[in-house]
Amino acid sequence: MKTTLALGLLLFCFSALAETRLVHTAPGTTFQQLAEITGTEGGDDFGLSVAVSGNTLVVGAPLASNDCDNCGAAYVYTAANGDWTNLTQVATLTPPSGQTGFGNAVAINGDTIVIGDDGVEGAVAYVYVNPSGNATATAVLTTSVETGDVIASIAIQGGTIVLGMPFAIPEGRAEGAAFVYVEPSTGWANMTESAKLISTDENTDFGYSVSISNRNIAVGAPEVAIDGVEQGAAYLFVEPAGGWNGTWGPTTEFEASNGTRKAVIGTSVSVSGDTVAVGAPDEAEGSAVNEGAIYIFTEPTSGWPKTMTETAELTASNAKAGSQLGYSVALSGRTLIAGAPFEDSQQGLVYVFSEPASGWQGAETQVVSAPDGAANEIIGYSVSLGGEVIVAGGPGWPHGSLSENGAAYVFGKTQ
């Protein structure tokens, strides 16, 4: 399970930086740091969750203190005319519940933002449309079943939102679930789920991670046992012809052909088109224990089968024990980014993989780090990819100071 850290901020500063460490860079294309968002007070978990879409960035801080102590918040920033060196904070979103947990998971698509709130009994999510200032929610999303008070992950595309709740009890047993919400024709309003997605196994942490692309929803379950060995797995759900309604089991179960015990496969998932990336941060590569790996699953020409092993496995070229590559992943088209937050004395790095014409294979094309990175800042704990912009959360920044404020780093593409 992800560890909640006592980190964060109340006030923010912005800096545009050009320097970053680049390794194994693909010819002609690199990512460089464009901005860093930091704070001045600690204990907020700022950067524990991040999401980017278009020119808008959302950063979650689930222990922030604004209207109440440690209730959590989410901060919204925009890049002026697409210039990520020029960021403006446009909204501060806070929970109406007055309890801790708001902002543990965030998502954005266009002008619609979704924030999870674990502080409410049963857990809820709030939908904000084009928020500004201290905005109130447009809609509240609830569930029809017991959820265990944890929203571990959120995904949104267009008018569809997915909430991952690994402790939900949808069928009277503790197996986890993902809840799908479809926007009404009149716009977002308070509602319960349109559909429930479930696994066929018990006690799997199903819903720990979720992702959506077109008609496909991917769900991670990092405690699934495969042939009696607890390795973890992920699942794909293809939208039924009649739309998202009712209760559905998976179309495909994704398993690693070489998964090791406690690899926690499915800690992170990301789907883009016909490809699914699944993070396995505790996977062992040779003698490198907990180095981590990312498994790629690409839809066969015959369509998605009932079960499937990976099309490719991606690992770091400089594999190090304890790095936990794949703790977070984001896939868009032919670009994949993966956080390794515990690499380099837990400073954290972000790995960039680019799909060659021959298909996914090999090691990273680039490694990105923060110029001011230091031990225990866990950069890459959260990542998001929007267009040609990478955002990485480092909730331990700056470790060793009186206040670990947390940070979010923005990296952009150059030629």
- Looking only at the bridges linking them, the beta strands covering 30-39 and 49-53 are unpaired
What is the per-residue pLDDT for 404?
74
- Residue 392, amino acid: A
- pTM for the whole structure: 0.91
Q: Please give the structure tokens belonging to residue 23.
A: 């390794």
**Sign of the CA dihedral running 185, 187, 189, 195:** positive
What is the per-residue pLDDT for 392?
98
Residues whose CB falls within 8 Å of the CB of residue 302, separated by 6 or more in sequence, listed in order = none
Omega before 398 within 30 of 0, i.e. cis: yes
Q: Which domain holds residue 228?
A: 12-414
The reply to whether 7 falls in a domain is no
- Looking only at the bridges linking them, the beta strands covering 191-192 and 139-142 are parallel
The reply to whether 333 falls in a domain is yes
Q: Cα–Cα distance between 406 and 12 in angstroms, integer?
A: 10
**Sign of the CA dihedral running 285, 289, 291, 294:** positive
Neighbours of 269 (CB within 10 A): 31
Q: Cα–Cα distance between 113 and 58 in angstroms, integer?
A: 8
Number of domains into which the chain is organized? 1
What is the per-residue pLDDT for 375?
86
The reply to whether 165 falls in a domain is yes
Q: Cα–Cα distance between 71 and 353 in angstroms, integer?
A: 37
The domain that holds 314 is classified in CATH as 2.130.10.130
The reply to whether 192 falls in a domain is yes
Burial (0-12, 13-18, 19+ Cβ within 10 Å), 192? exposed
Neighbours of 357 (CB within 10 A): 5
- Residue 334, amino acid: R
The reply to whether 1 falls in a domain is no
The reply to whether 3 falls in a domain is no
> How do the pLDDT tens digits run along the chain, 415 residues long?
333 333 332 333 333 333 333 333 344 458 999 999 985 567 788 999 999 999 999 999 988 887 777 788 999 999 999 999 999 999 999 988 666 789 999 999 999 999 999 867 777 899 999 999 989 999 999 998 877 778 999 999 999 999 999 988 877 666 799 999 999 999 999 999 999 999 977 668 999 999 999 999 999 999 988 888 889 999 999 999 999 999 999 999 999 998 778 899 999 999 999 999 999 999 987 766 899 999 999 999 999 999 999 999 999 998 788 899 999 999 999 999 999 999 988 999 999 999 999 999 878 999 999 888 888 899 999 999 998 999 999 999 886 555 678 999 999 987 4
The reply to whether 189 falls in a domain is yes
Q: For 82, phi and psi rounded to 5 degrees? A: 80, 10
Q: Please give the structure tokens belonging to residue 373.
A: 């990175």
Residues whose CB falls within 8 Å of the CB of residue 123, separated by 6 or more in sequence, listed in order = 101, 116, 117, 143, 147, 148, 149, 150, 151, 165
What is the per-residue pLDDT for 401?
58
Distance, CA of 30 to chain centre: 23
Neighbours of 65 (CB within 10 A): 18
Q: For 90, phi and psi rounded to 5 degrees? A: -110, -15
The reply to whether 121 falls in a domain is yes
- Looking only at the bridges linking them, the beta strands covering 382-386 and 389-394 are antiparallel
Q: For 80, phi and psi rounded to 5 degrees? A: -65, 115
What is the per-residue pLDDT for 40?
55
Residue 147, CA distances (Å) to 47, 96, 106 in order: 25, 20, 18
